[in-house]
Structure 1
Amino acid sequence: MASALLYYFLILIFGIPMHECVAVLRDGRCVIEEPCFDLSVMANVAELVSKDVIALDGEKILLKHSSFDKIRKKKNLHSCVLQKIIDLFQDVLDKTNGTYVHKNEEINHHHELIHIMDQLRNCVYKKKNRCKKLYKMSDITTTSSPMVNILKKMNPNQLAVLQLQKLKSASKRVSDVHIQEKVMDELKSLHLYVQGKGFRKNTND
């Protein structure tokens, strides 16, 4: 009975601090790891910037989540694809700066989002050598838009190449208003594509 009470007492002493820490215990000290980036902030600002953009019909630039999920589970693939996604979206934001500014707003959310994209880039794992090989594959391989049933059978590498090709095609026509509107529309769900293995969750990763 006494040993059971002692065990319970030790759990209370050592368990509570660890619970309150909600971080990592290193050398007996609680080390709080700050998040590398708050995706909810980006989602909220993106919604403000693109709230007046009407959803467009036709093929999207970003793959559907069911296909992109295969990419996000692979750290190297996800990080390489994310870098190109950020390149395109940031390019469009730069070109449309002033176009989507809403009247009577004290803060220029469009300009704020451009700054946020810079911060986002810093939280993507950098895999230069791996990316070079993948980018080269996307340049060599030519893939037309596959049917839904074919997409389901494609492996993560094939899907990553396809996504890179779609991004490259859009980048070549980035001055086209139609492409700009597509990007601004897809901006609303961009934060969902960032989540995955290629995105650093905290500053100590």
Structure 2
Amino acid sequence: MASALHYCFLILIFGIPMHECTAVLLNGNCVPLEPCFDLNVMANMAERVSKDVIAADGEKILLKHSSFDKIRKKKNLHSCVLQKIINLFQNVLEKTKKNDVHNSKELNHHLELIHIMDQLRHCVYKTKNRCTKLYKMSDITTTSSPMISEKNMTPNQLAVLQLQKLKSASKRLNDVHIQESVMDELKTLHFYMEGKGFRKNTQMTEEKHGVS
């Protein structure tokens, strides 16, 4: 109940309209489905927190959209990668919350975004042990072999590459450059959530076994 009230509060704060509810038939009854989380809420909050952040130079932590599109089409790959993405962004938000210049008595944007990360994690499909193999693969894969261009990589290879970039950034959380990069990329994070690994509504569905 508290979570639902908090969600409505954010929508009222940012003036974002509720999506029209879809519905499913359950035992002959029409049951409305609410969005698992309105990503527009996060996008607006992230824009407020990161609006004064200067675009970071150098290599991005998140893959470019054309590469990430291959990951988002695979439910288990997307969900496994999203878990690590959310972890990194939440950790950096925790590290930098004392620097929030937009903090006010009414709303602490950093704390709200940290709370939103928990809500996003809830919307990622539960994969149980299905990520273990992928995470191990990212640990043992090296870059000593000839590099393959991203456009020629398979979804699995791109997922491994993304996990390696996230792991590298996670090891340097105290690095100001990493913090600035994450805060800059926070502006477009909502685009990466969209895909087969992110539940669109509150209706839980059964998941098939296997990594795809």
TM-score (norm 1): 0.84
The offset of 1:26, in angstroms, is 3.6
Query: Match of 2:123, SS?
Result: coil
Amino acid across the alignment from 1:54: I
* Range with bigger deviation, 85-94 or 135-144: 135-144
Contact 1:50 / 1:100 at 8 angstroms: preserved in 2? no
Find the counterpart in structure 1 of residue 154 from structure 2. Answer: 155
Q: Deviations over 1:123-163 (max 9, x none)?
A: 1012132100000000000137x97x711010000000000
> Cα RMSD (Å) of the superposition?
1.9
Correspondence for 1:35: 35
Q: What fraction of aligned residue pairs are identical, expressed as a percent?
A: 79
Q: 1:25 to 1:95 in 2, by over 3 A?
A: same
Q: Distance in 2 between matches of 1:131 and 1:52?
A: 36
Matches within 5 A, 1:97-176: 97-102=97-102, 106-143=106-143, 150-176=149-175
In the alignment, what sits opposite 2:74?
Answer: 74
Question: Which residue number corresponds to residue 16 of structure 1?
Answer: none
Aligned residues: 184
Contact 1:101 1:108 in 2 (8 A): no
- Unaligned runs of at least 5 residues, structure 1: 1-19
- Following TM superposition, by how much is the alpha carbon of 1:109 offset from its aligned partner in structure 2, in angstroms? 0.8
Shift of 1:115: 0.7
Q: Conserved in 1, the CA contact under 8 Å of 2:21 and 2:34? A: no
Alignment of 1:34-53 (within 5 A): 34-53=34-53
Q: Distance in 1 between matches of 2:27 and 2:137?
A: 45
| Greater share of helix | 1
Task: Tell me how far apart the structure 1 counterparts of residues 181 and 167 of structure 2 sit (CA, whole Å).
Answer: 14
Larger gyration radius, structure 1 or structure 2 = 1
**How far apart are residue 21 of structure 1 and its match?**
7.4
What is the deviation of 1:204?
A: 1.1
CA-to-partner distance for each residue in 1:4-27, whole Å, 9 max, x for gaps?
Answer: xxxxxxxxxxxxxxxx97422344
Preserved contact between residue 21 and residue 33 of structure 2 (Cα < 8 Å): no
Is 2:185 the partner of 1:186?
Answer: yes
2:123 & 2:47 partners in 1: Cα distance?
Answer: 21
TM-score of the aligned structures, taking structure 2 as reference length: 0.82
Letter in 2 for 1:175: N
- Sort the Cα spacing of 1:137 and 1:22 in 2 relative to 1 into closer, same or farther, 3 A: closer
Distance across 1 between alignment mates of 2:49 and 2:122 = 22
| Partner Cα separation in structure 1 for residue 21 and residue 46 of structure 2 | 32
Cα gap change, 1:86 to 1:104, in 2 (>3 Å) = closer
**Unaligned ranges ≥5, structure 2:** 1-19, 205-212
Specify the alignment match of 2:96 in structure 1. Answer: 96
> Within 2, Cα distance between the matches of 1:40 and 1:93?
19
Q: Which residue is equivalent to 1:60?
A: 60
Query: Cα distance, 1:100 vs. partner?
Result: 2.4
